[in-house]
Amino acid sequence: MEVLTEYEKEVLVKKGFDEEKIFCSGIGIDLAQIPTGVDRSFRQRFARDDEPVVLFVGRHQEGKGILHLIDSMELVWRSVPSARLVIAGKTSDFTKRIHDRISRIPSQFRPNIILINNFPEETKYKIFAACDIFAMPSKVDSFGGVYLEAWAHCKPVIGCWNTPCASVITDGKDGLLVEYGNAKKIAEAILGLIKNPELRLKLGKQGRNKIERQYNWDNIVRITRANYSKVIQRFYEEKYREVPNYG
């Protein structure tokens, strides 16, 4: 059985699955295929250079933490009223709940939330490049490939403890982890990054280094090939008591 994170492996082991038959591979991205230049004109559509931009990218879905992120921004605005939240993703039935929540924000802050819906792939890279902080406080993602896309642009990321994403993000090293559903903790993480540009830069660079070292397709292929070789070897050991040499 193949899983994407150590978190998933631990869950399956607790449910009684044989640990030796569960292999963790992960996913990767090709940095060479991702344009990382900042399109200033794109960012200026919704924020000036001195207005911090927090970004969420993902399908409008329950469990992604979008409403909690909006809740957290109301706390952020008490200290940094110029902060922007960009919610970029594919619309769904859940979109109405997002609009309903935004409608309850004090009127002076409603323009600080920008929705970018159903955008093409090339726009996604502009969105990542334009943000200062990427936050997806989700509990439903099995890996969270968007964290890698944020890291590709050297952006710091915020995810949640006790989720598969906690196996991807190393808290305090390449991102920050918070309790799912806790708007206060999300706000504290956002404010900590807004007020510390050096930390933002450090976490973002460490994230990109992690891609170069671990979450790239060359490494994922190597891991997957090694896992499959173990399965084949075990099969021959158990069935035929002989192990072919694959070199």
Q: Are 58 and 136 in contact (CB under 8 A)?
A: yes
E strand segments, the chain: 2-3, 23-24, 53-57, 84-89, 113-117, 133-135, 157-160, 175-178
Where residue 154 falls among pLDDT bands split at 50, 70, 90?
A: very high
Residues 183 and 80 in one domain: yes
**Got the DSSP string for 140-195?**
S-SS-HHHHHHHHTT--EEEETTSGGGGT--BTTTEEEE-TT-HHHHHHHHHHHHT
Give the residue, 2 or 139, on which the prediction is more confident.
139
137, 153: one domain = yes
Q: Are 38 and 109 in contact (CB under 8 A)?
A: no
Task: Indicate whether this model's pTM tops 0.85.
Answer: yes
> Does 136 lie in the same domain as 21?
no
Look at residue 237 and tell me whether its pLDDT is greater than 90.
no
Residue 13 sits at φ, ψ, to 5 deg, of -65, -40
Which of 33, 31, 27, 42 lies closest to 129 in space, CA to CA? Answer: 42
Give yes or no: residues 85 and 98 share one domain.
yes
Q: For residue 115, is it left (φ>0), alpha (ψ between -120 and 50) or beta?
A: beta
Number of compact structural domains in the chain: 2
Predicted local confidence at residue 232, as pLDDT? 84
**Which is nearest to 159 in space by CA: 183, 142, 134?**
134
According to the model, what pLDDT value does residue 245 have?
A: 60
Does position 16 have pLDDT exceeding 70, yes or no? yes
27-57: burial string, b at 16+ Cβ within 10 Å, e else = ebbebeebeeeeeeeebeebbeeebbbbbbb
pLDDT (mean) for 165-173:
97
Residue 20 has pLDDT above 60, yes or no: yes
Q: What is the pLDDT of residue 242?
A: 57
Q: Domain check: are 81 and 202 in the same one?
A: yes
101 and 14, same domain (yes or no): no
Residues 193 and 123 in one domain: yes
Say yes or no: 54 and 173 in one domain. yes
List pLDDT tens digits, range 107-127: 999 999 999 999 998 899 999
d(C-alpha 140, C-alpha 69), whole Å: 15
Whether residues 201 and 220 fall in one domain:
no
Pair 162, 238 in one domain: no
Structural domain boundaries, residue 24: 1-29+216-247
pLDDT digits (tens, 9 = 90+) for 27-78: 999 999 988 777 878 899 999 989 999 999 999 999 999 999 999 999 999 9
Among the ranges given (27-31, 133-137, 154-158), the one the predictor scored with the smallest mean pLDDT: 27-31
- What are the structure tokens assigned to 98, written together? 């997002």
Residue 149 to residue 134: CA distance in whole angstroms: 10
CATH of the domain at 147: 3.40.50.2000
If asked whether residues 129 and 241 sit together in one domain, one would say no
Mean pLDDT of 183-189: 99
Q: Which secondary-structure segment (H or E) carries 73?
A: helix 66-79
DSSP 28-43: ---GGG------HHHH
Same-domain check for residues 147 and 121: yes
